[in-house]
Amino acid sequence: MSDLLAHVPHTRLVPEGSYGPEGKAGVRARQVLGLAVATLTARKGKAADLARRLCAAGLPLVDAPKAVSTMAFTTIGTGPGRWLILAEGMTGTALLAHLGSLAGADATLTDQSDANLIVEVTGPDARATLAKGVAVDLHPSAFGAGDAATTVVSHVGVTFWQSDAAPAYRFMVARSFAPAFLRWLTASAAEFGIALSGTGRG
Amino acid sequence: MRIPCPYCGSRDAHEFAYLGDATLTRPDPAASDAAEAFHAYAYLRENPEGAHREYWYHANGCRRWLVVTRNTRTHEILGVAFARPSTDEVPA
Ligand SMILES: [Zn+2]
């Protein structure tokens, strides 16, 4: 397995394609594109007010490591009074303007749309693959759809959440660390076969 | 060793940075023995056996400071709380 990624420069994303035994894809991974991302941090003493107001406006904020999705938004708790907000079909600028109009002076906002790479991991061997690097219990009795965690995988900081009971997981990784994360994912999933898409041809 | 973070849940110790003794109080700089008191505050440490209160920073998690009560012989975690209790409470 040591030469699996020998041809891929360490500075580039692992190119889309199949890795591991031919004709097997126990794991599927794809880069999720087209999401606007912002961080929202409540100002001191304002978290409860803010959450109440934004919930009423259709933006559910739960002060816990949870991922909550509506038609338009996903909110993910990353720390007390701190969330990631994801939106589909919207620019980062538009998302920030929308959040700013709701939060007013009760929160600080930053546009993170360009900062991260989001990878969705699915397939029957997704859990067995993630067990090699995620030191959070992903057994369905401990972690299910709607649960989120900010942690470290193979020395790379990530925020991830389970987006579907199937299971499907979405990992958000700082863009400059994405090549290292994808190398870890590809090498860890290779014994099951992994079909990787959305990362370009290298 | 795993530390049950009040926000994140059970996490491996390597996600945290260790600062040390959480039982110390910063001395009064105006006191007549301030120099001696600050020397003790900055440099002198007990090496207690058993339960000990310590600061741990959840660097690769929620990025909050915790006070962890740890048994120094067994690494059993006896209690965890945010170092600075939040004034915020968000309804579930
Ligand atoms: Zn934490």
**What structural domains does chain B harbor?**
2-23+35-82 (3.30.2270.10)
Asked if residue A38 has pLDDT above 60, the reply is yes
Q: What predicted TM-score, i.e. pTM, was given to this entire model?
A: 0.93
What is the complex's ipTM, to 2 decimals? 0.92
Residues A122-127, mean pLDDT to the nearest whole number: 98
Q: How far does the CA of residue A165 sit from the closest CA of chain B (Å)?
A: 20
DSSP A147: B
Count of helices and strands (H, E) across chain B? 1, 6
Q: Any idea where the domains of chain A sit in the sequence? A: 17-32+115-197, 35-111
Contacts of A44 in chain B (CB under 8 A): 87-88
Q: What CATH code would you report for A17-32+115-197?
A: 3.30.1360.120
The minimal CB distance from B88 to the residues A47, A64, A78 is found for: A47
Answer whether A151 sits within 8 Å of B87, measured CB to CB: no
Question: What are the structure tokens assigned to B11, written together?
Answer: 């996490």
Given a cut of 50, is residue B84 above it in pLDDT? Answer: yes
Write out the residues of chain B at the interface with chain A, using a CB-CB cutoff of 8 A.
7-12, 14-15, 60-64, 82, 86-92
Q: What is the pLDDT of residues B11-69, one digit of tens each?
A: 999 999 999 999 999 999 999 999 999 999 999 999 999 999 999 999 999 999 999 99
**pLDDT tens string B39-51:** 999 999 999 999 9
Q: Pick from A42, A62, A151: which is nearest to B92 by CB?
A: A62
pLDDT band of B87, cuts 50, 70, 90: low
- Whole-angstrom CA distances from A174 to A102, A103, A141, A158, B49 are 27, 26, 29, 8, 41
pLDDT 10s digits, A156-190:
999 999 999 999 999 999 999 999 999 999 999 99
> Which of A48, A65, A150 minimises the CB distance to B90?
A48
- Sign, CA dihedral A76-B60-A164-A21, equals positive
Q: Which residue has the higher pLDDT, A119 or B86?
A: A119
pLDDT of residue B92 exceeding 80, the answer is no
Best of A66, A136, A139 to substitute, by most chain B Cβ atoms within 10 angstroms, is A136
Instruction: Say what the pLDDT of residue A2 is.
Output: 57
Task: Tell me how many degrees the CA angle A7-A159-A4 measures, rounded to the nearest 5.
Answer: 15
The percentage of residues in chain A with a pLDDT greater than 70, rounded to a whole number, is 99
**B8–A63 C-beta distance less than 8 A:** no
Dist. CA A73–CA A159, nearest whole Å: 17
Contact list, A52 vs chain B (CB under 8 Å): 91
Closest CA to B53 of B10, B85, B23: B23
CATH fold for domain A35-111:
Alpha-Beta Plaits (3.30.70)
A153: three-class secondary structure by DSSP: strand
